[in-house]
Amino acid sequence: MAILRFFRLLYVQVLVGIALGVAVGALWPDVGVALKPLGDSFIKLIKMAVAPVIFCTIVSGIARMGDMKAFGRLGAKTLIYFEVVSTFALVLGLVVGNLVKPGAGFNIDPATLDPSVAAGYVEKAAHGQGLPDYVLSLIPDAFFAAFASGNLLQVLVIAVLTGFACSRLGAFGDKVAGVLEDVSKVFFSLIQVVVRLAPIGAFGAMGFTIGKYGLAALVKLGALVATFYGTSLLFVLVILGLVALASGFSILKFLAYIREELLIVLGTSSSESVLPQMIDKMQRLGAGKTTVGLVIPTGYSFNLDGTNIYMTLATLFLAQATNIDLSLTQELSLLGVAMLTSKGASGVTGAGFITLAATLAVVPDIPIAALALLVGVDRFMSECRALTNLVGNGIATLVIARWEGDLDRETLTRELARGPGAAHAPPPVVTAAAD
């Protein structure tokens, strides 16, 4: 009976799915590749509920805040926090890359590389937008177009405007907020149903990854992969750990609380696959609805700590592997460029690689063709990027909520002590604290 109860736990089922996927992909690669639709279907099922959850959460939260200046202050603090922590991640990647030198000894002649291997990523990176185009892209062509396309930043813009509109309508606006709050419960319930399919999704996604790219790629570039995972772990436990400690909670307890989400991301290589669950859990931990609704979706484009580490570390790896010495000035230039290009990434698989291509495009000393060295293992590093991004956004939500007086510390302490076992109870309704 105890064993049966153990295997009923979702995170255990996800672990089993990942293990089976690795086995199938390694033993029968063709079968593993054919499993890709299982992983893709799970992510699509989750993503269909992401936009409505974000919209309902933000609108109902803003409509009931009352103080629009407080919301503006929340947005400013959020962007400042993202920039500071993201810069730490970029710098850490540079420091570790220079100390460990994972690319040393490869002695690759750039002329021997096949540029066509990475051509698709380079082409996508070349289509990057200038600032005016980027700002215009935040505005959808029609109100519901953002929901149809799943563009989270467009949904965020619409939700903020709608929340402001509701806040001006007095009692009627409050009624609208109440309706949307009730509607959000339906979508959260839908997600709880879909998430039971996570083990199947993890099985399919991991089977495809191992079947497509093989374990041999990990052996060949093991130093880079190990360095990246180690650096990301260092960032989470030390830098984010200190940030969490300063905010009054343990990073280890937090990681234990979101273990199911971490395992789903590990299996699917996409942090977006657990975005609604993270919104739910951050509210359960006592963070206010408005703070959660703003920080989590915004962080998926502006607070990608794992992607930042990857960009600087991978760039140094490529330079070292092709015997190119970068001066301190060049490395600082790389840091400055990465601070901008990293904001264009998103929490989906492959976005980090495209952003890396965009960064290399402005560092001409490193040949773009060198990206071919990373194609085989990028999927494995994508998992680590997604995991680090997920943890970073969760920590950011709690820290910013605390700054704003929008965090129930007693609830945070109690929930972290109890663990995620109570995650099926309705989330507490937390209102924004007034100054």
Q: For each of the domains in the chain, give its residue range(s) and CATH number, in order of start.
A: 8-50+80-134+200-422 (1.10.3860.10)
Q: Mean pLDDT in the chain?
A: 81
Residue 244 one-letter amino acid: A
Query: Largest Cα–Cα distance of the chain, in whole Å?
Result: 69
Please write the tens of the pLDDT for every residue from 17-74: 888 988 998 889 899 889 889 888 888 888 888 888 888 888 887 887 766 777 788 8
Lowest mean per-residue pLDDT among 113-117, 247-251, 326-330: 113-117
Give the model's pLDDT for residue 111: 66
Q: Cβ of 434: how many Cβ atoms within 10 Å? A: 9
CA 286 to chain CA centroid, nearest Å: 21
Task: Please check the confidence at residue 242 and state whether its pLDDT lies above 50.
Answer: yes
Averaged pLDDT, 345-361: 63
Give the model's pLDDT for residue 431: 38
Please give the span between the terminal C-alpha atoms of the chain, in angstroms, as a whole number: 52
Give the model's pLDDT for residue 353: 67
Q: Are 213 and 276 in contact (CB under 8 A)?
A: no
Averaged pLDDT, 126-141: 66
Rounded (5°) CA angle 206-211-214 = 100
Instruction: Tell me which of 341 and 205 has the higher pLDDT.
Output: 205
Give the model's pLDDT for residue 387: 92
Please write the tens of the pLDDT for every residue from 328-343: 888 888 887 777 766 6
pLDDT band at 348 (very low <50, low <70, confident <90, very high): very low
Q: What is the dihedral of CA 367, 372, 375, 381, to 10 degrees?
A: -40
Task: Please check the confidence at residue 93 and state whether its pLDDT lies above 90.
Answer: yes
pLDDT band at 253 (very low <50, low <70, confident <90, very high): very high
Q: Cβ of 216: how many Cβ atoms within 10 Å? A: 9
User: How far, in Å, CA of 292 to CA of 183, rounded?
Assistant: 17
pLDDT band at 360 (very low <50, low <70, confident <90, very high): confident
108: left (phi over 0), alpha (psi -120 to 50) or beta: beta
Task: Please check the confidence at residue 137 and state whether its pLDDT lies above 80.
Answer: no
DSSP H or E run through 12 = helix 10-27
Give the residue among 205, 218, 212 at the shortest CA–CA distance from 33: 212
| 132 phi and psi angles, rounded to 5 deg | -60, -45
Lowest mean per-residue pLDDT among 326-330, 357-361, 388-392: 357-361
